[in-house]
């Protein structure tokens, strides 16, 4: 089989000279490369027609972490703790996700990616877990190392992610202040934290449509986390071969 090409969503930032640039964490692309896939970073500002044309050349998609989705995308109001909003990124990723599902392409969402996918399919999120679920665990750990294992998760039996991870109980890192409030119709929860916050979901009846709230790209020394990227790569190879 040829090497699958997997699109990777990017974010906008200013470089040291104050000029805008598109970026993505190297850990995402390194994890895909290690799994045998070729990552392709997708810039923002592309028209929907250009995005559709690009998707024809991809074998799968990775929706990465980053700033918050604008509350208007899920019918909510501004919140003082919502930060890092980029409406153009929301537009690009929501369009991509919907087209990816229509085309049946394999996809994986990570952190913001999980929240974005849920929103794109009609779900909602908490603007800030700690304000709206005061009894929740500490899910945001900005001062901790990226591989810090913050809490456990319970994985649903007979789920696709259980087959991939090989366990129904794992320790994960955690760097998010938002989380799923209402799961979109059609998605099923496949993992949760001890406080009930949804940590993973999948799209049933779909070859490979998963999302996780933690950051497996920062835990590549752990075999179950490498397995997520290997499973995505394998699904893309199967999809490419079938096409």
CA angle 22, 119, 15 (to 5 degrees): 15
Name the active-site residue from 93, 111, 176, 177: 111
Mean pLDDT of all residues in 106-120? 98
- The two three-digit tokens of residue 98, written as one number: 């919907």
Q: What is the pLDDT of residue 195?
A: 96
Name the active-site residue from 139, 151, 177, 215: 215
Catalytic residue list contains 111: yes
Half-sphere exposure of 14 (CA within 13 A, CB side): 5
Q: What is the pLDDT of residue 138?
A: 87
Q: What is the pLDDT of residue 135?
A: 85
Catalytic residue list contains 199: no
Q: How far apart are CA 69 and CA 23, in angstroms?
A: 17
pLDDT reading at 181 higher than 90: yes
Q: What is the pLDDT of residue 80?
A: 82
- The two three-digit tokens of residue 113, written as one number: 């990616």
Mean pLDDT of the chain: 95
DSSP β-bridge partners for residue 42: 9
pLDDT reading at 76 higher than 70: yes
| pLDDT band, residue 77 (cuts 50/70/90) | confident
pLDDT reading at 62 higher than 70: yes
Q: What is the pLDDT of residue 1?
A: 65
Mean pLDDT of all residues in 25-54? 98
Mean pLDDT of all residues in 15-30? 95
| pLDDT band, residue 214 (cuts 50/70/90) | very high
pTM of the model: 0.96
The structural domains of the chain, ordered by start, are: 5-242 (3.40.50.880)
Name the active-site residue from 93, 127, 202, 217: 217
Q: What is the pLDDT of residue 241?
A: 58
For β-strands 60-63 and 5-9, DSSP reports them as parallel
Catalytic residue list contains 93: no
Q: What is the pLDDT of residue 239?
A: 65
Instruction: Please give the torsion angle defined by the CA atoms of residues 75, 79, 81 and 86, in that order, rounded to the nearest 10 degrees.
Output: 50
């Amino acid at each position: 089989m040829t090497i699958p090409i997997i699109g990777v969503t990017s974010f906008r930032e200013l470089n040291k000279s104050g000029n805008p640039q598109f970026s993505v964490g190297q850990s995402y692309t390194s994890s895909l490369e290690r799994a045998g896939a070729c990552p392709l970073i997708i810039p923002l500002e592309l028209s929907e027609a250009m995005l559709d044309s690009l998707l024809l050349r991809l074998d799968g998609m990775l929706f990465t972490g980053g700033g918050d989705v604008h509350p208007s995308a899920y019918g909510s109001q501004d919140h003082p703790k919502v930060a890092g909003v980029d409406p153009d990124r929301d537009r690009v990723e929501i369009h991509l996700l919907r087209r990816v599902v229509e085309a049946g392409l394999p996809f994986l969402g990570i952190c913001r990616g999980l929240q974005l996918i849920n929103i794109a399919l009609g779900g909602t999120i908490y603007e800030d877990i700690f304000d709206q679920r005061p009894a929740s665990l500490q899910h945001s750990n900005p001062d901790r190392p990226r591989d810090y294992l913050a809490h456990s998760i319970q994985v649903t039996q007979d789920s696709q992610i259980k087959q991939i991870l090989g366990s129904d109980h794992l320790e994960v890192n955690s760097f998010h202040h938002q989380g799923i409030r209402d799961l979109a119709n059609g998605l099923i929860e496949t993992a949760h934290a001890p406080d009930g916050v949804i940590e993973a979901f999948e799209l049933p009846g779909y070859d490979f449509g998963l999302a996780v709230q933690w950051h497996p790209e920062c835990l590549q020394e752990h075999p179950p986390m490498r397995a997520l990227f290997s499973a995505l790569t394998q699904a893309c190879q199967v999809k490419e071969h079938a096409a």
